[in-house]
């Protein structure tokens, strides 16, 4: 047979990804590499549940939040009416960094990339008319996660819902903040203490609540490859489990409520294989390294968000197709919940029309495509099985390297993960700039036509409204009581006692995010990132 001339010298999953051959057959899959375990059985490669989506579809959870609590509450009710099955809160940067809206550093950011939450009053109004005992809520919050979770518990109590009935997740993953996202306040050690305080408190008091969502998404957005995203996330997960064990907790008392958060990019097969490999490796880590006995401790449950950095400002309707492919990968990879980005998010916060289409994308996959009717429909594909194994090997190699450094915390302090991600990000951008990595509408098939979209704009008066609201709160509450409870927060933070009970007490007195964060700063100080070359 004459040699066929192929259109590229080498085919890869992504720029720094795995080299892909022309075709795969049974010869490329050695018998010892085939995982024939059924769905719902250890090591859960095919699914953590035996019937997959045949019993229950994934939770359709759109990440949303902007401006004031009134506007975000209106958006939540709109999405709920459109068929969303879970909520996901985006907080504005001041709340994430422990500043009230009237702090000089906060003013330019009030309500810009998330909703402004300064006090329990804001949390109560955010959920006005939404029964917290009946919905599942995810909150993307990290450095101030103990304060925000305390507010959610107190707001639910005001609705007559006990904390042991609450369903949802708090992100509470500080390690990845030092690697990629940078919304930290305290140094890694006190941050790890606060993270494990939440995990310990939830294990004892909130049986339906996921106490942490160990996140690879932000590292992927920063430039990590699929293998790096998976490996660094699992290494962080190992660090959290070890920290809880070191506190004297039985692994099976908390691990069933650990959850994960990953990105789905556009290379469909690579993403599906990544999710399959992740489930298999985590199950083995929990069983073999931590001696977990409860199978629920070994099950990797995860939320997926489609890739924000894959969206383009040029020809924005192309983003509809990108998001559909990425969402399909997440579903074929058997995620537990999913956010689909809106096509206008490369330019602004999503409009109501764009967010409805994003949600409809999930609903069409769920109800029209047929992919949810059988479990792991990609299982048995020569290519997907081969790729799952290659990704697994890549992940394990990174985990071994990080273990050799003394674990994730030490690797982060040395800047190892940061450097690896930076290298991959550079290689990707270089490939896009040279045209080696095609982005349709960006570096090929471009157009000079303006996008012509009507974008969501945040009212310039949002900051002033929020500051007036805060001023009224401070004039009405018992400020002597606030002073006393903040002293108590400092005392507990400086001890070995779990901070969650005193934080719940503080937010019920209407102490603000900034006031409580400042009390914790008095004890823990503030972290300044060292230079990483």
Helix/strand/coil (H, E, C) string of 451-477?
CCCCCCCCCCCHHHHHHHHHHHHHHHC
User: What is the distance between the alpha carbons of residues 421 and 135, in angstroms, rounded to a whole number?
Assistant: 36
The pLDDT-based confidence of 35 (bands split at 50, 70, 90) is confident
Query: Would you state the pLDDT for residue 163?
Result: 98
Residue 438, φ and ψ in degrees, nearest 5: -80, 130
Whether the CB-CB separation of 101 and 467 falls below 8 Å is answered with yes
Query: Would you state the pLDDT for residue 33?
Result: 73
Contacts of 282 (CB under 8 A, 6+ apart): 234, 237, 260, 298, 300
Residue 533: pLDDT over 70: no
User: What is the distance between the alpha carbons of residues 522 and 17, in angstroms, rounded to a whole number?
Assistant: 45
Residue 1: pLDDT over 70: no
The CA-based angle 424-142-201, given to 5 degrees, is: 130
- Nearest in space to 125 (alpha carbons), one of 150, 158, 102: 158
Indicate the angle between helix axes 188-205 and 145-158, nearest 10 degrees.
Answer: 30
CB atoms within 10 A of CB 379: 20
Whether the CB-CB separation of 111 and 466 falls below 8 Å is answered with yes
Whether the CB-CB separation of 514 and 99 falls below 8 Å is answered with yes
The pLDDT-based confidence of 530 (bands split at 50, 70, 90) is confident
Predicted TM-score of the model (pTM): 0.96
Query: Would you state the pLDDT for residue 359?
Result: 97
Query: Would you state the pLDDT for residue 29?
Result: 84
Residue 32: pLDDT over 80: no
Q: How many CA atoms lie within 13 A of 268 on its CB side?
A: 12
Structure-token pair, residue 11: 């085919």
User: What is the distance between the alpha carbons of residues 533 and 409, in angstroms, rounded to a whole number?
Assistant: 18
43-83: pLDDT as tens digits: 999 999 999 999 999 999 999 999 999 999 999 999 999 99
290-337: pLDDT as tens digits: 999 999 999 999 999 999 999 999 999 999 999 999 999 999 999 999
Whether the CB-CB separation of 388 and 45 falls below 8 Å is answered with yes
The CA-based angle 325-327-333, given to 5 degrees, is: 105
> What is the mean predicted confidence (pLDDT) over 475-486?
98
- Nearest in space to 422 (alpha carbons), one of 224, 178, 216: 224
247-279: pLDDT as tens digits: 999 999 999 999 999 999 999 999 999 999 999
User: What is the distance between the alpha carbons of residues 38 and 59, in angstroms, rounded to a whole number?
Assistant: 23
Give exposure, 392-411, as e/b (b: 16+ Cβ within 10 Å): bebbbebbeebeeeebbbeb
Q: How far is CA 427 from the centre of its chain?
A: 25
CA distances from 358 to 53, 306, 394, 456 (A): 20, 10, 32, 15
Residue 449: pLDDT over 90: no
Instruction: Provide the edge-to-edge strand list for the sheet that holds 59-64.
Output: 209-210, 167-170, 136-140, 86-90, 59-64, 337-339, 302-306, 258-264, 212-215
The 8 Å CB, 24+ separation contacts for 71-76 are 71/115, 72/115, 72/126, 73/125, 73/126, 73/127, 73/128, 73/129, 73/130, 75/352, 75/355, 76/126, 76/130
Q: How many CA atoms lie within 13 A of 61 on its CB side?
A: 25
Residue 216: pLDDT over 70: yes
Query: Would you state the pLDDT for residue 412?
Result: 95
Whether the CB-CB separation of 139 and 170 falls below 8 Å is answered with yes
Query: Would you state the pLDDT for residue 284?
Result: 98
Structure-token pair, residue 101: 């809206």
132-173: pLDDT as tens digits: 999 999 999 999 999 999 999 999 999 999 999 999 999 999
The CA-based angle 76-468-350, given to 5 degrees, is: 30
Query: Would you state the pLDDT for residue 488?
Result: 98
Residue 2: pLDDT over 80: no
Whether the CB-CB separation of 511 and 486 falls below 8 Å is answered with yes
């Amino acid at each position: 047979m004459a040699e066929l001339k192929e259109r590229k010298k080498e085919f890869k999953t992504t720029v720094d990804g795995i080299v892909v051959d022309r075709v795969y057959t049974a010869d490329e899959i050695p018998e010892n590499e085939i995982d024939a375990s059924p769905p719902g059985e250890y090591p859960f490669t095919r699914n953590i549940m035996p019937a997959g989506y045949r019993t229950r579809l994934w939770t359709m959870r759109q990440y949303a939040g902007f401006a004031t609590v009134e506007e975000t509450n209106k958006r939540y009710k709109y999405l709920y009416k459109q068929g969303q099955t879970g909520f996901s809160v985006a907080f504005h940067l001041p709340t994430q960094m422990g500043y009230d809206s009237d702090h000089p550093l906060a003013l330019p950011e009030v309500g810009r990339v998330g909703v402004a939450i300064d006090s329990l009053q804001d949390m109560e109004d955010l959920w006005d008319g939404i029964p917290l005992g009946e919905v599942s809520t995810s909150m993307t919050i990290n450095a101030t996660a103990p304060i925000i979770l305390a507010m959610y518990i107190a707001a639910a109590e005001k609705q007559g819902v006990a904390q042991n009935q609450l369903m949802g997740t708090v992100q509470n993953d500080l390690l990845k903040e030092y690697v990629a996202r940078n919304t930290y306040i305290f140094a890694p050690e006190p941050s790890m203490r606060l993270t494990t305080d939440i995990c310990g408190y939830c294990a004892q008091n909130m049986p339906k609540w996921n106490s942490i969502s160990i996140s690879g998404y932000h590292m992927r957005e920063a430039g990590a490859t699929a293998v790096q995203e998976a490996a660094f996330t699992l290494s962080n997960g190992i660090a959290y489990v070890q920290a809880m064990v070191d506190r004297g907790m039985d692994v099976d008392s908390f691990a069933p409520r650990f959850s994960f958060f990953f990105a789905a990019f556009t290379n469909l097969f690579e993403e599906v294989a990544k999710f399959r490999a992740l489930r298999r490796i985590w199950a083995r880590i929990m069983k073999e390294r931590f001696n977990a006995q409860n199978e629920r401790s070994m099950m990797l449950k995860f939320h997926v968000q489609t890739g924000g950095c894959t969206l383009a400002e040029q020809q924005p309707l192309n983003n509809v197709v990108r998001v559909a492919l990425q969402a399909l990968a997440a579903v074929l990879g058997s995620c537990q919940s999913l956010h689909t980005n809106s096509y206008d998010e490369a330019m602004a916060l999503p409009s109501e029309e764009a967010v409805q289409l994003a949600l409809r994308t999930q609903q069409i996959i769920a109800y029209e495509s047929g992919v949810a009717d059988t479990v792991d429909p990609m299982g048995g594909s020569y290519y997907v099985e081969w790729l799952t194994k290659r990704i697994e090997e890549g992940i394990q190699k990174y985990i071994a390297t990080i273990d050799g450094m003394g674990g994730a915390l030490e690797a982060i302090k040395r800047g190892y993960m940061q450097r690896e991600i930076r290298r991959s990000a550079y290689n990707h951008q270089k490939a896009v700039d040279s045209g080696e990595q095609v982005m349709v509408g960006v570096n090929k098939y471009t157009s000079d036509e303006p996008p012509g979209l009507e974008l969501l704009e945040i009212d310039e008066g949002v900051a002033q409204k929020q500051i007036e609201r805060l001023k009224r709160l401070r004039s009405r509450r018992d400020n002597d009581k606030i002073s006393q409870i903040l002293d108590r927060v400092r005392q507990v933070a400086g001890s070995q006692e779990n901070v969650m009970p005193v934080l719940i007490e503080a937010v019920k007195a209407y102490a603000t995010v900034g006031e409580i964060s400042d009390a914790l700063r008095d004890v823990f100080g503030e972290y300044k990132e060292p230079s990483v070359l």
